[in-house]
Amino acid sequence: MTLSLISPTEFNLLSQNQKTVLLDVRTPVEYAQVHAQKAVLEPLDQLDPQKAASRHGFSKQDAVYVICKSGGRAKTAGQKFIDAGFEKVISVEGGTDAWVAANLPVVRSASRTLPLQQQVFIVVSIMILSGVLLGHFVHPAWLLLAGFAGCGLLFAGLTGYCGMAMMLAKMPWNQVKFKDQTVTSCSIDSSKRSKSCGCGS
C-alpha cells in the first residue's frame, strides 16, 4: 500500500461535502502560527496512529488525510499509518505552504513569535558566520562548526526533517498555550488567534 496525494483545492472541496479528518503533523508552534482551517494537531514526534484514530473518531477503513509544511513530514506520518494497517492514507500535496498559496481558509495566530523556519535560518547563519570568523582568527578547527551547520541544512533539504527546528520548537518562547493539556487540541486560545483567507496579509 502506498501513500496517495490530493491537492489542497481538491481536499477543500471534498471536505465541504463529506466528513474528513485532516491531521497536521507539524510542531505545535508551526500549527499555532498558521494551519488549514479544518486541520487538527498531531505532532509527528508524538504520533501514534491508534491513539490518533481514537481521539478523532476514525477507523482503519476510513480515509486519513495528513498535512505538514511542504510534504516531507506528512510522508513519514502517512507511512506510520500504513504500517499500522490503515487502508486509505492521503497526503495533502505541497502541505500548508501550498494550502496558503491557494488562498484556502486558514487560522492564523496573532503571536509575534518569529516563524520556526526563520528562527532556524538565524541560528544556522550565526553558526556558519561564527565558524568562519573563529576559524580564520582563532583556530582552523572552528571551520567544522560552519561545515556542521551546512551539513544540517543539506540533510534537512534532502529529507524534509530538520533537527534544529525540532529543538527550537521546544524552547520556552515557542510553547503554545492550549485550552487543555494535550497538544492534540485544535482549540488555541481565541485571544491569540485570528482567521484569515490565507492571502498572506
Q: Categorize the per-residue pLDDT at 114 as very low, low, confident or very high, splitting at 50, 70 and 90.
A: confident
DSSP 8-state code for residue 57: T
199 part of the active site: no
- Lowest-pLDDT choice from 18-22, 66-70, 145-149, 165-169: 165-169
The alpha-carbon radius of gyration of the chain (Å, integer) is 19
User: Given pLDDT bands bounded at 50, 70 and 90, which one contains residue 48?
Assistant: very high
Pick the residue with more confidence: 186 or 153?
A: 153
pLDDT greater than 60 at residue 183: no
Is the pLDDT higher at 101 or at 114? 101
d(CA 92, CA 144): 38
Continuous segment of H or E residues that includes residue 41: strand 39-41
Q: What is the pLDDT of residue 111?
A: 66
Predicted structure pTM score: 0.69
Q: Compute the average pLDDT of residues 97-110.
A: 92
Listed range (62-66, 163-167, 197-201) with the worst mean pLDDT: 197-201
Q: Which candidate in 68, 162, 186, 197 is catalytic?
A: 68
pLDDT cut 90: percent of the chain above it: 65
CA distance linking residue 52 with residue 49, whole number of Å: 5
Angle between helices 143-159 and 116-137 (to 10 degrees): 150
Q: Region of 40 please: left (phi>0), alpha (psi -120 to 50) or beta.
A: beta
Mean pLDDT, all residues of the chain: 85
CB distance 158 to 18 below 8 Å:
no
- Domain ranges for the chain: 4-109+176-196, 116-170
Q: Which CATH superfamily is domain 4-109+176-196 in?
A: Rhodanese-like domain (3.40.250.10)
Question: What was the pLDDT predicted at 195?
Answer: 36
pLDDT at 23: 98
